[in-house]
Chain A
């Protein structure tokens, strides 16, 4: 795994959605690439907890890099969806105006969308809005419809990108908390908190919330990433309030507002809030913010009920100014900064992969395409997606498909075993890959089964089982 003596052409620090896209892009070329992640699994930072949206391309002006990358990235998802194994659907986005005044902003968004070349964007009357989304409030006066917007499961996207990158030769090094960097000859030596070292000629800083401290470790630009917390509620898929498309309120000067998102897997997500916090590891939810979510969501869809809530969570946006920072460092050699990737970072991320590849090329990295690059990964069959007849066939091939471990999300033992064998050896890792523990019972019925399978497959003792690595142990003793 770790390569102490060898030298990487490129080391990418941070295995979130940007790092993963960059790694997969670079895996197309004859390069030795390391993807370094401080956590026990990939996608556990900002990429885990966000709205999971492929944006509609009308919120930002093209003068911003983030808008240009958003427009380009949004168009790349069909192909990625074909090649990789993650849920994605172009369900469309509506922006709902609840007062006459808001229609002016709607018109501005429409004009910006048209200028940005968004296909199919339209302004909607009240009648048209209610036809598209019958559950909207009767206060609706009109709105905007962007059919090209979509939804994606962000962590599955990252997992699949990383799987593809690894399949094509990228080394993933987890629990590598990059702390120090020094020059040795023409190379960077990156030292982790535990003393491990990685040598690389080029480095990409895609460390998310920690891109600022990492930049300093490389003696590069001095900027400050401020975490901005977004809290969410997740609603049961049985909710009667599920819309057909992503519902946005009319944005304000500072925020796109709190959304109602029908997720690809059938649940409904409402949020996010936006509040500045100090601690980059503060993923706690707060009573005050959570209350705002329900209030705001109900102004758009009044039938949203707190009895549908199955969990709440928070994510942190890495904020520094208004735009993304994606550039070659002017101070440190062979370092690409990929920082301040807040919304629409997920949408833009495939384009960010390309953009960073071009920056590296500009900086002298030789890119020779691999003749045998394989863009595709195995698409794992999921019990919940199969008809009874298809499932019967799967059980004939692999009986573990017949043991349903997670009843709420209908996840079979076969899927859990595959996730563990792919390296996801924590309860959260298994959850994000398979959805087991993610449904309405939140693991009440299946956690003990997953612990058993995990111990059997890995040979772990009970004391080694964790929720997400570190000190998040699950059991504290035996009888």
Chain B
């Protein structure tokens, strides 16, 4: 069995993994990226549309271009990578984290690492997860699978398509398949507002005249061998109006109904998972409950933009390097989700430095204010013209915001509550 030793093992070679590894290298730590596909880049490689990189590189790039730039940066920093290698498990052996991976080239590889960065990304929710009843014909795909088939393998999954869910991948695929000569008969969304980015609603649906059925539930998939149609039903004031159900004939159903962080490896390692994100609970350093195990990117929580993933992963790499150097925060304050906030990541802050916090709203609201409070005292407030669940928000809290006004009340149990009002 091939044996390797690194300061840090990074699980996953997408934007998150490569960025974290590059940061570790730039701080003098050895880092190995383990990637199951034959090349680095992760899911970006099938995202051939534009819209990536506006924040990270200040230019508009396609997915593969974005991946290439991140990869160049990582390679220049001196990372090592094992591609075509599936991680089987991560264990604790003799004070080390030990990662077992397998590939056809090397067989099983045993990697001893002092730190591990989890960067496995996420998977698509599927028909079973949202429990759509009906028959089980061929022609039902997740949008990402369809994207892969079209953009990389060059196959058209079907001609007459209904897309369930208004997530970004589904919207992108509506445009992609329209360009390829397919007819998109509609996008069906159970919520009263779209789940994808506004720019995608405009560019991928409105520009192509594709109907968007908001507040509609998919109540049946019909077809014996191949899909023949889907039944959709309006939801009015919370009531499913079966009397108003109608069918849209089609031969293909694409599902774009959300993403789930892929944390099976983490769970088996003993990492505690936040049910609000399906990602690990992490402290102010993006470290999980297991010392030396960090998480970043879509395995931590699902991001809207890969630019945010790269940014977060860089921080994870830096925190891992600090941890390897023996540094740790003197104290941490717990973050608490206040009104209208679904989750906060990370869930703790270090009051002695700047902290970047990603969060999601639970509500659609115009003229909202993002507030951080300690013991009811507002320490920071940011005006937002518009918030909605599908657009991730962030704020930063630094020593100035988190300083104790009165040293006598300083305590370890202090909490910072973040709310949208």
Chain A interfacial positions (CB closer than 8 Å to B): 233-234, 238, 281-287, 290, 306-307, 309-313, 383, 388-389, 391-392, 395-396, 399-404, 407-408, 410, 413, 427, 440-445, 447-448, 451-452, 462, 466-468, 470-479
Q: Which of B129, B134, B136, B224 contacts A310 (CB 8 A)?
A: B129
Query: Are A283's CB and B136's CB within 8 A?
Result: yes
| A478 in contact with B155 given A392-B108, A448-B148 (CB within 8 Å) | yes
Query: Are A404's CB and B36's CB within 8 A?
Result: yes
B136 CB contacts on chain A under 8 angstroms: 283-284, 313
Query: Are B226's CB and A388's CB within 8 A?
Result: no
Q: Which of A307, A389, A444, A477 contacts B124 (CB 8 A)?
A: A444
- Within the complex, what minimum Cβ distance (angstroms) separates A446 from chain B? 9
Given A401-B104, A445-B145, A474-B157, 4 further pairs, Cβ under 8 A: A309-B129, A391-B88, A477-B155, A479-B150
B51 within 8 A of A: no
- Within the complex, what minimum Cβ distance (angstroms) separates B102 from chain A? 5
A442 CB contacts on chain B under 8 angstroms: 126-128
Q: Once bound together, how far apart are the Cα atoms of A445 and B125, in whole Å?
A: 11
| A471 in contact with B225 given A290-B133, A389-B1, A478-B154 (CB within 8 Å) | yes
B105 CB contacts on chain A under 8 angstroms: 399, 402
- Within the complex, what minimum Cβ distance (angstroms) separates A182 from chain B? 30
Query: Are B133's CB and A402's CB within 8 A?
Result: no
Main secondary structure of the interface of B (DSSP, over half): mixed
B77 within 8 A of A: no
Query: Are A476's CB and B158's CB within 8 A?
Result: yes
A395 CB contacts on chain B under 8 angstroms: 102-104, 107-108
Give 13 pairs: A residue, B residue, CB < 8 Å, sorted on A.
A285-B135, A388-B88, A388-B102, A389-B1, A396-B107, A402-B106, A403-B104, A443-B145, A445-B123, A467-B138, A471-B225, A473-B225, A476-B251
- Chain B interface residue bracket vs A: 35 or more
Please, which residue of chain A has its CB at the minimum distance from the CB of B154?
Answer: A479
A311 CB contacts on chain B under 8 angstroms: 126-128
B84 within 8 A of A: yes
B141 CB contacts on chain A under 8 angstroms: 447
Query: Are B150's CB and A444's CB within 8 A?
Result: no
| A284 in contact with B135 given A388-B1, A395-B108, A442-B127 (CB within 8 Å) | yes
- Within the complex, what minimum Cβ distance (angstroms) separates B152 from chain A? 8
B92 within 8 A of A: no
Most central of B136, B152, B158, B180 by chain A CB within 10 Å: B136
List the 6 closest A-B pairs by CB distance, nearest first. Answer: A311-B128, A402-B104, A471-B225, A467-B138, A392-B108, A477-B156
Query: Are B107's CB and A284's CB within 8 A?
Result: no
Query: Are B138's CB and A388's CB within 8 A?
Result: no
B361 within 8 A of A: no
A473 CB contacts on chain B under 8 angstroms: 138, 225-226
Query: Are B154's CB and A238's CB within 8 A?
Result: no
B104 CB contacts on chain A under 8 angstroms: 395, 399-403, 413
| A471 in contact with B226 given A395-B102, A402-B102, A448-B153 (CB within 8 Å) | yes
Query: Are A285's CB and B134's CB within 8 A?
Result: yes
Q: Once bound together, how far apart are the Cα atoms of A395 and B100, in whole Å?
A: 14
- Within the complex, what minimum Cβ distance (angstroms) separates B223 from chain A? 9
- Within the complex, what minimum Cβ distance (angstroms) separates A157 from chain B? 21
- Within the complex, what minimum Cβ distance (angstroms) separates B66 from chain A? 21
B86 CB contacts on chain A under 8 angstroms: 404, 407, 410
Please, which residue of chain A has its CB at the minimum distance from the CB of B103?
Answer: A402
Q: Which of B36, B126, B153, B156 contacts A476 (CB 8 A)?
A: B156
Q: Once bound together, how far apart are the Cα atoms of A463 and B154, in whole Å?
A: 13
Q: Once bound together, how far apart are the Cα atoms of A451 and B153, in whole Å?
A: 10
A399 CB contacts on chain B under 8 angstroms: 104-105
B264 within 8 A of A: yes
Q: Once bound together, how far apart are the Cα atoms of A312 and B251, in whole Å?
A: 21
A479 CB contacts on chain B under 8 angstroms: 150, 154-156, 180
B149 CB contacts on chain A under 8 angstroms: 448, 475
B78-112 CB mask vs A (1 if < 8 Å, else 0) is: 00000010101100000000001011111110100
B267 within 8 A of A: yes
B225 CB contacts on chain A under 8 angstroms: 467-468, 470-473
A285 CB contacts on chain B under 8 angstroms: 133-135
Most central of B104, B150, B153, B157 by chain A CB within 10 Å: B104
Please, which residue of chain A has its CB at the minimum distance from the CB of B217?
Answer: A287
A389 CB contacts on chain B under 8 angstroms: 1, 108
Query: Are A284's CB and B131's CB within 8 A?
Result: no
Q: Once bound together, how far apart are the Cα atoms of A388 and B2, in whole Å?
A: 11
Query: Are B131's CB and A312's CB within 8 A?
Result: yes
B137 CB contacts on chain A under 8 angstroms: 467, 472
Q: Which of A282, A284, A471 contacts B133 (CB 8 A)?
A: A284
- Within the complex, what minimum Cβ distance (angstroms) separates A21 from chain B? 27
| A466 in contact with B108 given A281-B224, A402-B102, A444-B126 (CB within 8 Å) | no
Query: Are A290's CB and B131's CB within 8 A?
Result: yes
| A306 in contact with B131 given A471-B225, A473-B226 (CB within 8 Å) | yes
Q: Once bound together, how far apart are the Cα atoms of A447 and B64, in whole Å?
A: 22
Most central of B137, B144, B149, B155 by chain A CB within 10 Å: B155
A287 CB contacts on chain B under 8 angstroms: 133, 219
Please, which residue of chain B has its CB at the minimum distance from the CB of A446?
Answer: B145
B251 CB contacts on chain A under 8 angstroms: 476
B133 CB contacts on chain A under 8 angstroms: 284-287, 290, 312
Q: Which of B107, B145, B150, B226 contacts A392 (CB 8 A)?
A: B107
B220 CB contacts on chain A under 8 angstroms: 284
Those of B190-247 within 8 Å (CB) of chain A? 219-220, 222, 224-226
Q: Once bound together, how far apart are the Cα atoms of A286 and B88, in whole Å?
A: 37
Q: Once bound together, how far apart are the Cα atoms of A281 and B158, in whole Å?
A: 24
Q: Once bound together, how far apart are the Cα atoms of A369 and B127, in whole Å?
A: 50
Q: Once bound together, how far apart are the Cα atoms of A444 and B147, in whole Å?
A: 11
Please, which residue of chain B has its CB at the minimum distance from the CB of A237?
Answer: B264
- Within the complex, what minimum Cβ distance (angstroms) separates B183 from chain A? 12
A313 CB contacts on chain B under 8 angstroms: 136
Query: Are A403's CB and B84's CB within 8 A?
Result: yes
